[in-house]
């Protein structure tokens, strides 16, 4: 059984690349968000600095992407919001029960990722394709709905890695390698 895990562990670089890509995208979105917001606010008070009409919608769209993609990154790091009320009692429970509960939670989050991907994509291509941004009539509202399926895909990728680690914990003791 450990040889299977040694083989599957070779996929870690792919997960690392996905993490770096999503993290880079988040950094770019934050920079764009800060730049446009600074320009828009400055443009209200300084006459030679432009205050474009589209700035608010672009900033809100960037924030939407940033929020859901950073939440997907948090899944990989285990930094997402989760219930911790039972944590003091986990040491008293059977280790396999705790691992099983982790796997059950992983399956729930993975399911949510698939729902976000499928339903979000459906909304993006149907509702999103029917309208445009108010201040940018040439830009489809598809881009307003697209963060949901994009985050769903990122969640699926990162949750598969977390689920694999939790399943692996059933067969390999903590601190040992495959």
- At residue 25, the pLDDT reads 96
The secondary structure of the chain in percent helix, strand, coil, rounded to multiples of 5, reads: 75, 0, 25
- At residue 18, the pLDDT reads 95
| Burial state string for 100-116 with b = 16 or more CB within 10 A and e = fewer than 16 | eebbebbeebbeebeeb
- At residue 163, the pLDDT reads 94
> Which one-letter DSSP state was computed for residue 134?
S
- At residue 47, the pLDDT reads 86
* Full-model pTM: 0.84
Of 128, 116, 108, the C-alpha closest to 153 is 116
How does pLDDT run across 99-145, given as a tens digit for each residue? 888 899 899 999 999 999 999 999 999 988 888 888 888 889 999 99
- At residue 82, the pLDDT reads 67
- At residue 69, the pLDDT reads 95
- At residue 135, the pLDDT reads 87
- At residue 123, the pLDDT reads 93
- At residue 96, the pLDDT reads 80
Give the residues of the chain that fall short of pLDDT 70.
Answer: 1-2, 81-87, 174-178
């Amino acid at each position: 059984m450990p040889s299977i895990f040694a083989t599957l562990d070779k996929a870690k670089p792919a997960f690392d690349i996905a993490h770096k890509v999503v993290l880079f995208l988040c950094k770019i979105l934050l920079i764009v968000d800060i730049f446009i917001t600074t320009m828009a606010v400055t443009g209200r008070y300084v006459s030679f600095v432009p205050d474009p009409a589209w700035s608010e919608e672009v900033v809100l769209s960037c924030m939407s992407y940033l929020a859901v993609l950073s939440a997907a990154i948090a899944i990989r790091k285990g930094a997402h919001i989760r219930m911790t009320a039972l944590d003091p009692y986990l040491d008293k429970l059977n280790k396999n029960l705790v691992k099983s509960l982790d796997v059950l939670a992983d399956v729930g989050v993975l399911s949510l990722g698939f729902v976000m991907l499928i339903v979000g994509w459906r909304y993006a291509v149907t509702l999103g394709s029917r309208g445009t941004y108010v201040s940018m009539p040439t830009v489809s509202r598809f881009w307003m709905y697209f963060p949901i399926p994009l985050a769903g895909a990122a969640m699926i990728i990162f949750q598969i890695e977390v689920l694999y680690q939790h399943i692996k914990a059933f067969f390999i003791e903590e601190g040992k390698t495959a």
